[in-house]
Amino acid sequence: MKLTVVAASGGIGRQLLEQAVGAGHEVTAVVRDPGKLGDVGVRVVRADLARAGAGELREAVAGADAVLSGLGAVGKAGVGVAEAGTRAVVGAMREAGVRRLLVVSAAPVGTVASPDRPNPPRHDPGEGPVMRYVLTPVVKRVLRAHYADLARMEDVVLAGGLDWTVVRPPRLTDGPLTCDYRVAYGQNLRGGSKVSRADVAHCMLRGVSDPDTVGRILGVAY
């Protein structure tokens, strides 16, 4: 398949890139700074995804069977890139006639308000008592701006008219690829407090050709 990986030099983006190449896919990598990517032997397109009108994206997604995005803020300065960058990606895909989009969000986002969903549920149905009353409230306070950005990003994805999948992992680690993770549709996973970036990438790549994941939100965790 022909795949476009957005934010390919980031934690999940790098895993998407390496696993896709390893599986024999034809990959285009979209990055703001190609120097961070190194020599990876794939087509590289430079685009500043913090600017919603990034025209280079049309060329990057043209002809792709699917677009996979690892966009997300790194530090306070990056807050906003998930929404703005995804809006640019969705626009470029619609112009190019590309329909399959998979993005990574975060487990707490299902209970975060957004413009299109001002009254989200107070609790995720998949959370146990410790996650619901202790861990999630703490994390949401610390990363409030990041999760608000991701919630707005999800609004963009769901309203974009594409064949989308949103993957919501909990705490990300740099652990190895295990392929031994759990997936739940429309909710988080009870007892699932972490998952490696490598396994999130594997889940996304596996979902590219799985029709059951289209138009669905996936919780993924160990």
The H or E element containing residue 61 is: helix 56-61
Q: How confident is the model at residue 73 (pLDDT cuts 50, 70, 90)?
A: confident
Looking at residue 126, what is its pLDDT? 82
Q: Residue 138 has which token pair?
A: 């703490």
Q: Looking at residues 98-113, what average pLDDT do you find?
A: 96
Name every residue whose Cβ is closer than 8 Å to that of residue 152 and which is 6 or more positions away in sequence. 82, 83, 114, 115
Q: What is the pTM of this model?
A: 0.93
Burial degree of 211 (CB within 10 A; 0-12, 13-18, 19+): exposed
Is residue 20 scored above 60 in pLDDT? Answer: yes
Looking at residue 74, what is its pLDDT? 81
Q: Sign of the CA dihedral 82, 80, 74, 39?
A: positive
Q: Looking at residues 190-207, what average pLDDT do you find?
A: 96
Higher-confidence residue: 143 or 26? 26
Is residue 138 scored above 90 in pLDDT? Answer: no
Higher-confidence residue: 57 or 129? 57
For 150-188, the pLDDT digits (tens) are 999 999 999 999 999 999 999 999 999 999 999 999 999
Q: How confident is the model at residue 201 (pLDDT cuts 50, 70, 90)?
A: very high
Q: Looking at residues 204-215, what average pLDDT do you find?
A: 98
The fold adopted by the segment(s) 2-221 is: Rossmann fold (3.40.50)
